[in-house]
Every structure is written in C-alpha cells, then in structure tokens.
Structure 1
C-alpha cells in the first residue's frame, strides 16, 4: 500500500516524497484511513513505529478542508506528557503543514519557560500541541478557546493517564466540546488506557500492531557484569574501544546524569546531560546538537527520554537500570528504530542481578552476559 491510496492531498503527498517517506508503516497504514473516516481511534503500536505521522497527516488533511475558526479558537489539540515530545510533534506537524495551499499555524506550548511569549503566539493557531499544565494556564488566561475543537489527540496516552496528570486531564476534558473526534495513541494498552477508552471514546476503531516487547528483536542486547566502582571506567572503555560516534546513556537520577557527564568530560569525551533541572533552552540546544551528530554522548533520565527520537541511533547504554521493565524496553527502543539495527548495552551490578532477571522475564528475552573482571579498563 502507498500513501497515495489514502486520498491525501497532492500537497501532503509532495511533502512525503520530499521527506523520503517511501511507504507507510503498519500503524500508518491502518490509522490514516481510519482517522479520515472521522471516527474515534485507539492506536496501540510500539515506540518508533511512526505513530506521530499516523495522526499528523489525517488531522492536517481534515483541517485543510474546513473553514478556519475565529482567532485563538483551537481546532485540533494534541496533549503530550513532556516538553520534549511537544517539540518533536510540533516539528512533524510543521514539516507537513507548510506545504498546504493555506498553511495551518501550529504551535507547541509547555511549562518551564515564560508563558507570556506563548500567550502572544496563540494568534491564529489552529493546531496546538500542549502539556496539560500549560494548556490549563493558557485557557484560564483566555489566551485560547476550546469551544470550536474538532479533534483531540492523546499522544503517549499511557503516560498522560497516570496519577500525575489525573486531575489536569479531568479539567481539560470538562472544557472541550462533547462532539469531537478523539484519537488515542499509546505504546501499551494498560488499565488506565482502557478506562479512558470507555470514558471518552465513542465506538472507536481499535488498532493494535504488536506489543512493545516484540520490537526489541532488531536490537542487539548485551549485559555487562560490573562492580559499581568500575562502571565509569567501563563506560569510557566501551565508548573508546567501540569507537562510538553517537551514544545515548540512561541514568536513574539527574544527579547521576551530571556526575557521569563530569567524569566523561574530565577524560576528554564530549558529553552533555539532559534532564528536568536543565532550562528548556539548554535542553533544546543539547538535543539539537545530539540529533545533528555534533555531540557524541548524551546522558538522560527516563523523564526526558520520551522526546528523544533519532531514526538511526546506533548505541544505547543503561548505566543504571530503570525501576520498571517497561521503561527498560522504552529506553532500548531509542535504538533499532525504522527497521534499522542498534545495540543496547546494560551495566548490571551484583545488587542489580535479581531486578534484571525480572526485566528479562517481562521482556520475554534472555540477554547474554559478558564478564568484565578480566578487562583492563585503563588500556
């Protein structure tokens, strides 16, 4: 099946060609025509499967055919859990929207930066990508109006529907028109997603590609048994011996992320950290440099990882294990994307052994171990 078979406008098809989209991914093949029918859609597909474009294209196609609403009246709202994901989704929308005969104004808003410039930027916005907290602030300031909303998208619905966002989501859902198209996309179908499906989706078309665990097959995984004090030397040894040009490293805390970066830089390895305690401008700059290949090593926490989307990232290193097996799969899923292979390397201390067994069991895959006691890490 090709993109042209969906009935998308020539302008969107031209954008797809220019961006070298050759054929739709499985979730795009199912979701685009389903969304174009106007029905509610629940899409479950693994990280890196092309979920964003699967709703961006039909949303643009639909809005390009209707009259623009009054100023500051949003027509499509995309809710996301993190600032990084908001920026990423905005980039995808803009890459297609500018090709339309009458370009639709797209804007991402999020906390951590001044609200005043965002309030001024709401003039003429048709498509708004927002984190829940900042959306509420803008709505309460009358900077935006939601009464003309035609479609609501929850991206990473599993994260949006946890306890952290529960009250905010209730308020937002009470403000928007009952008659609208609802689109939910998630990597997993957990209890919370099932609950919200019953609350806001009306006779939805349910699309499920595969479990996220199945997407690890393209990823070559290796675990390294290592003592805590030898983690730093092992990390530097692997980066140098494997000649890693681009590697994403995960830690469990902002403190540890900064500590790892400091050690790497002291040993002449170009590295930067990205986490919630960095300013938004600093985070954007670091992420841009890493995506462009100007930064060799990016050290991140799980909170930030949702917005890190790099098509051909060769290496991911788990410097510390995450608490959740799902977070482990999400971490290593940063590599092995778009049908390309990648490597995920995990450091396992004696204290981590039991937890890593649980992760492997949940993932349904045994990870081969390498011993490091005999390695000369200072070589």
Structure 2
C-alpha cells in the first residue's frame, strides 16, 4: 500500500518522497487514515516502527483547515516523557511542515533549561510538544492556555505512566476541552495504560503491531556469564577485541552509568553517559556526537534510550539485564534496523541466569550463552 492511497495532500506526499519515505509501515497504514478522519487512536507498536510519522502527517494535514487560533492557545498538544523525545518529535513536525502552504509553528518545551525563552517562544505556537512538569509550570505562569486544544497525543504513554507522571498527566487532562481528538501511542499495553485508555478514548481505532519477534531475526544475540566484579574489564575487552566503533551500553541506574563511563575513559575508551541527571546541553551534545559516529561508546539508562534513534547502530550491550523482558526487546531492538544486521551482547551474572531464562522464554528465542571463565 503506497502513501498515495492514505489520503495525504500532494504537498505532504512530495515531502515524503524528498525525505526518502518509500512505503508506509503497518502502523502508518492504519493510523494515518483514522487520524485524518478525526478518530481516536490507540497504537501499540515497538520503538522504530514509524509511530511518530503516523500521527505527525495527518495532524499537519488537519491543521491546515484550523490554523489561526488565538495567541498562546495551541491547537495540538503532544505529551512525551523525556526532553530527547520532545526534540525528536518537534523535528519531525518541522521537517514535514516546511512543505505546507500554511505555516505551522511547532515548539518543544521541557525542564532542565531556562523557562523564560520558552515563555517568549510560545507566542503563535500551533503544535506544542511538552514534558508534563514543564507544561504545568508554563500553565501556572499564564504563558500558555490549553482551552483550544483540538488534538492530544500521548507518545510513549507506557513510559510516561510508569515513571510517575500519572498525577501530572491527570492535572493536564483536567485543563483540556472535553471535545477533542485523543491519540495514545505506546510500545506496550500495561495496566496503567489500559486504565487511561478507558478514560481518554472514545470508540478508538485500535492498532496493535506484533512484529517484535520477526524484527529480532536481524539481531545476532549472545550472552556471556560474567561475575559482577569482572563486568567492567570484560566490557573493555569486548570493545577492544572486536574493535567496536559505535556501541550503546545499557546500565541499570544513573550511578552505574557514571561508574561504567569513568572506567572506560580511564582505559582510553571514549565514552559518555546520558541520563536524567545530566544537563540538557550535555545530553544533546552526547547524543549528536554518538549519532554522527564521533563518540565511540554511549552509556544510557532505559528512560534516556527512548530518544536514541540511530539507523545503523552495530552494537548494543546489556551491562545488566532490565527487569522487564519487554524492555530487553526494546533495548536490543536499537540494532538490527533498516535491513542491517546488528549484535546484541548481554553480560549475565550467575544470579541473573534465571531471569535471563525468563527473558528468552518471553522472547521466543534461545540465546547462546558462553562462560567467560573459559575465555583467554
């Protein structure tokens, strides 16, 4: 099914061609016509499945008919859990809106940076992409009003609700007009999401893309049994022995991420950490350097990794296993994209072995496990 059959305008179709979008992904095939028809949508699909474009394109087209809202009254609100994702979504809106006859102003607002420039830039905004906390600060300052919101998007809704944003999201929902279009997008459908789905959505079009297992075929998975105290040296051995040039390492906590980076740098391996305690400027620089290939190793927590989108990432390493099997699949799914194979390596201690068996069972794949004690 080509993009031309989805009801998009000639201007957006040309923008898709210019940006080398060839065929719509499964979620785009269903979501774009539904959103164009002003239907509520619940989309469940893995990271990297094209969820962002699936709502950006139809929202931009619908906006062409309703532009001209009052100053400081946005038309579209997109709520996201992290600053990185806010910037990513903003960039997608801006890249496609350039082709449109009517100008659309998109702004991303988030904490960790000064609020004053955001308060000034919000004038005349049509699409507001926001983290919940900063949005409430702007509302309290009368910098923005939410009474004219026509479309609400909750992007990465599963992470947003898991990370304790539920109370802030509820406050924001209370400020929105009752009559609006609602779009919920998530990688997983958990109890929290089911609850908010029942509150928010009215006769939604439900899209569930279950292709995670298929996407794992391009990923070469391997695990090493390594004691906790030897994980640091073994990580350095892997990076040097395989001459890895672009490696995403997952850590379980902010503290652990910093420990890993410090040890790598002491051993002359260029590495930086990206997590919630870093300043926005630091996080942006680290991410840009990593994407461009100038940074060899990026160490991330699960939350921060939601904003990392690298087309041809060759290596992902789990320094520790995540608690959820689904998070494991999302982690390793950062590699093996765009028909390009990738390697996913897990360092598993003895006390993690049972959990790793559970992960393999949920994933439906067996992973080769090698005892590092038998290696030189």
TM-score bin (small chain): over 0.9
After TM superposition, the structure 1 = structure 2 runs for residues 253-332 of structure 1, keeping only pairs within 5 Å, are 253-332=253-332
State the match for 1:71 in structure 2.
71
Q: Partners in 2 of 1:369 and 1:59 — Cα distance?
A: 46
Q: CA deviation at 1:213?
A: 5.1
The secondary structure found in structure 1 opposite 2:72 is coil
After TM superposition, the structure 1 = structure 2 runs for residues 66-145 of structure 1, keeping only pairs within 5 Å, are 66-145=66-145
Q: CA deviation at 1:289?
A: 0.9
Q: CA deviation at 1:163?
A: 6.6
The gaps in structure 1 that reach 5 residues or longer are: none
State the match for 1:159 in structure 2.
159
The question of whether the paired residues in 2 share the 8 Å contact of 1:187 and 1:212 is answered with no
Q: CA deviation at 1:59?
A: 0.6
Deviations 1:206-259 (A, max 9, x none): 111116455433322110111223222221221122221211001112222112
After TM superposition, the structure 1 = structure 2 runs for residues 160-239 of structure 1, keeping only pairs within 5 Å, are 160-162=160-162, 164-210=164-210, 212=212, 215-239=215-239
Q: Partners in 2 of 1:239 and 1:100 — Cα distance?
A: 46
Deviations 1:18-77 (A, max 9, x none): 211111111111111111111111111111111011001111111022232011111000
Superposed CA RMSD in Å reads 1.5
The secondary structure found in structure 2 opposite 1:304 is helix
Q: Partners in 2 of 1:163 and 1:22 — Cα distance?
A: 35
The secondary structure found in structure 1 opposite 2:194 is helix
Q: Normalised by the size of structure 1, how large is the TM-score?
A: 0.95
The gaps in structure 2 that reach 5 residues or longer are: none
The secondary structure found in structure 1 opposite 2:48 is coil
Q: CA deviation at 1:137?
A: 0.9
The secondary structure found in structure 2 opposite 1:149 is coil
Q: Partners in 1 of 2:347 and 2:144 — Cα distance?
A: 47
The secondary structure found in structure 1 opposite 2:334 is coil
The question of whether the paired residues in 1 share the 8 Å contact of 2:69 and 2:75 is answered with yes
The secondary structure found in structure 2 opposite 1:170 is helix
Q: Normalised by the size of structure 2, how large is the TM-score?
A: 0.96
The question of whether the paired residues in 2 share the 8 Å contact of 1:335 and 1:343 is answered with yes
Q: Partners in 2 of 1:106 and 1:280 — Cα distance?
A: 19
Q: Partners in 2 of 1:327 and 1:140 — Cα distance?
A: 35
Q: Partners in 1 of 2:255 and 2:165 — Cα distance?
A: 25
State the aligned residue count. 376
Matched, 1:13 2:50: no
